[in-house]
Chains A and B, each alone.
Chain A
């Protein structure tokens, strides 16, 4: 089973709202990732968690706040977003984080629209 699940599938929020994206995997993976993908562009890495600790933050604005409560769950808390933050947010996981030398499995994504 190589399934990564993400909820919600779609999210519309105002610039003053607070919302959260959720990602879950039950493959025993110890690394989890958040990517942002704008239309007709490749995914861009935002965060990497390894063994529930934040290992990489690719200079993401503080209005995005990741959280890894346990090894199976990854959240992305959103606050005071801008319309340009509208995108598909992808979660991925891998057995471990080995600086690119790992196979990442992606979820279906959450399509976010900020009004």
Chain B
């Protein structure tokens, strides 16, 4: 069965600092992988996706993610965080349906 794990429930970073959000998945075949961001009370916005090919994927708002098959991971990174990045981040795996991790809440402090 497929599953997605986001081990960090809440992360706090200073504005301008780098960011890495962790995501591990479990799936028998090569999955499609996604990162979505959700601001409070809002819908989900697609940041980036991985289907195949280059394992380093560039997304919107300066985010990137790297697919590592050997580690079953798809971690999200950003070199310099802005206050507007504060939100809930969901990793998701496309396998039969779209399955979401439990999310990581990002707080950005000045």
Contacts and interface: CB of A to CB of B under 8 A. Distances in A.
Main secondary structure on chain B at its contact with chain A?
strand
Contact of A107 (B32, B34, B36, B43): B43
**Interface size of A as a range:** 20 to 34
Nearest to A104: B98
A106 B102 contact: no
**Interface size of B as a range:** 20 to 34
A59 interface: no
Given A100-B94, A101-B32, A42 B102 contact: yes
Main secondary structure on chain A at its contact with chain B?
loop
B102 A41 contact: yes
A105 B45 CA distance: 7
A40 B102 CA distance: 8
Interface of B: 31-32, 34, 36, 41-46, 49, 51, 90, 93-103
